[in-house]
Amino acid sequence: FNIEETQYTKRVLGKVDATDADFGQNANLTYFIQPSSQDLPFEISPWSGVFSVNGELDREKEDKYVLTVVARDNGPEKKLSSSVSVEVQVLDVNDNPPQFFKYDGLIKWTHSDTEDLSNHNLNSDMMIPLYKATLQENAPIGTTVTRVYANDSDFIGNGNGLILYSLPQRKNQLNLFSIDSKEGVITTSGRLDYENQSVYNIT
């Protein structure tokens, strides 16, 4: 079975079906998961074999479950059983934002441009990572300023965990810096003038 990670309440995944060639109670089957555990977010109807998920699935904690389902008859003298393996693959949902690391500190940051804010899913007032760097004002265009690092615990194979870097374009401001979208390396794309501006804040 394949199912996306989230919280479920008795969500039916399918049915495990077994047959018994005997008659009467000897052919009356009961299904159960073995070994039984309160921690497993799965359950099976003992009479119908309907298999369902009841609880939270988090792919970042557990991406696959392999369970043993037993079908046992109800013979009055001797109970016979057979088992089957059930595999549940937990599919990734984009539920984890990228996280920066290797930064120099945290600063309080206030965003005043609501249009840019909506485009980048940022809060108006928040603590954000800070990378520090120094550069000569006569540094040629293309000089490396610093590199930023981020990771994402979602699955990269479907794109949810793939990280791309960008610098938001601000209105009425020279674009003096650029960033490599894959590597996170920030370089100069214009001439810096210390007398005109000595400190640059790049978000």
Strand order in the sheet with 29-34: 2-4, 81-91, 64-73, 29-34
101 Cβ contact list (under 8 Å, min separation 6): 129, 149, 150, 151
Q: Which two tokens stand for residue 69?
A: 């389902």
Q: Which of 13-17, 38-42, 109-113 has maximum average pLDDT? A: 13-17
Per-residue pLDDT band at 33 (split at 50, 70, 90): very high
Tokens 């696959």 found at: 64
pLDDT higher than 60, residue 120: no
Residues of the chain above pLDDT 90, percent: 62
Residues 58-66, mean pLDDT to the nearest whole number: 94
| Residue 148 CB coordination number (10 Å) | 19
Token pair for 109: 């940051």
> Is the bond preceding 35 in cis, omega lying within 30 degrees of 0?
yes
In the chain, the domains with their CATH numbers are 2-91 (2.60.40.60), 99-188 (2.60.40)
Q: Tell whether the model's pLDDT for residue 28 goes beyond 90.
A: no
Encode pLDDT of 82-119 as tens digits: 999 999 999 999 999 999 999 999 998 776 554 454 44
Quote the distance between the C-alpha of residue 196 and its chain's center.
44
User: Read out DSSP for 109-151?
Assistant: EE---HHHHHHHT--SEEEEEE------TTPPTT-EEEE-EEE
Identify the pLDDT of residue 112. 58
Q: Which residues contact 35 (CB under 8 A, 6 or more apart)?
A: 68
